[in-house]
Chain A
Amino acid sequence: MKFGIIQFPGSLCDYDCFYALRDISKVEVAFIWHEETDLSNYDCILLPGGFSYGDYLRVGAIARFSPVMQTVKEYAQKGGFVMGICNGFQILLEADLLPGVLVKNYGLHFLCRYEYVRVENNKTPFTNLCKPEQVLKIPIAHGEGNYFIDDKGLKELIENQQIVLRYCTKSGEVNDEINPNGSVDNIACICNKQRNVIGMMPHPERCVEDILGSSDGRFIFNSIINSIKNKKEAVMQGDK
């Protein structure tokens, strides 16, 4: 099993994701330079947080033209697991791998703090070890994490159960007051219809050890690892 973390110029959370996967989850992981185009050796592609290309134009707008992104699209279309965190989520939206947009936070400021999110769908490859409606304590750190989608799009997201995490209170209540950035319907994380591509604003890689204030991020990483194992087993059984 091997994870690949894409390094765009300006990626910042690449090393944090690397550490969380290699040192905490104990899986194999490698960096993928944005100019590479071969992803065939990886079981999951991770797009980390940061300010790719400085994000001076519009978040993620330039990164989607990176040579590696064309391959990421093909990889996703073939059913490969792709996960975008923060800036990675923004890039996945720009690359049309997920629906909607991320705009400036409601308060117009960058926000870095712990938030609670509720698991809305635990039947995705990225949340399958979470209980239904489980509350996770995960930090956010973004200036443009205000998720927006039109009513029609939102209806589709709900109908297809594509909303994976919502901002909530410590006890799991979803309301406007707790919404940190103004996201439509408190959305913190969505997946595509096929469930193999996910984008989230919170940073699971920042909370994988109790000493950092929470280890809830492990639920996300362990879920993916679990999914990859299951997928590999299914393939092996298919071979028989």
Chain B
Amino acid sequence: MGRMTAVHAATRRAQFPVLLRMQMARVRAAWRPYLIVSSAMPLGIALLMRAVMSDAQVAEHGPQIVSGSAVLAITMTAIVMLAQRVASLRETGAIDLYSTLPVRRGAVIAAVLLSFAVFALPGTVIVMVLGAALFDLSIAALWVAVPVWALGSFALAGLGVAIGFGAPDEQLAGMYSNFLMMAVLFLGILPAGQLPGWVAPLRWALPSTYAIEVLKAGFEGEVSGRAGIYMLVLAAFGALSFWLIRGPLWPRSE
């Protein structure tokens, strides 16, 4: 057949940087909204809480509030903005484009998740640093923020992609992801003891809760084995969502 031979698709190692570069190009167009959206609301909430709390309450709940705000910053990017982005990619045919290229779905998804983890980073750092200053928290044990950012972004972005794949259009993806963001906000930032009794257990259904608990332990300087378990749970959430969006949830035409 001579000419009729398939090309050799880029090797797995070569594919991923190209896919990541394609995703990261979005930074050029949209870094301002990513930074502003991911940091403004969490910072505003931290400021509000600081303003209405007594000194005793600040000392007691500060780590929870700043941790929740930092994870909310990840949520704003990795769930709300990513869900809308993915829905838009689906609507404009970009998902079909990837389906007609000799690339692995897993590599495409990993590139999308990593790019949004990177987009979430500046806002998260800003919220943690300013929040710590606002609530007079120590950042000495905040090395845990690195794995929390990585694992939390991965797990939350998996939810964002799932919403983007499942929502009928970009507007509904925005609405669904905002509902989820509200859940992260109320179940994550508000101290568990102040939630209604039947609501409190729901916290543990969200990956954000585990990220918040580890960050909180970091601010309190009490990182223990439990933090390791929570990070494993986060990793499991991430792995499950990756498997779901790569397989059963990957959009299929009729």
Interaction A to B: no
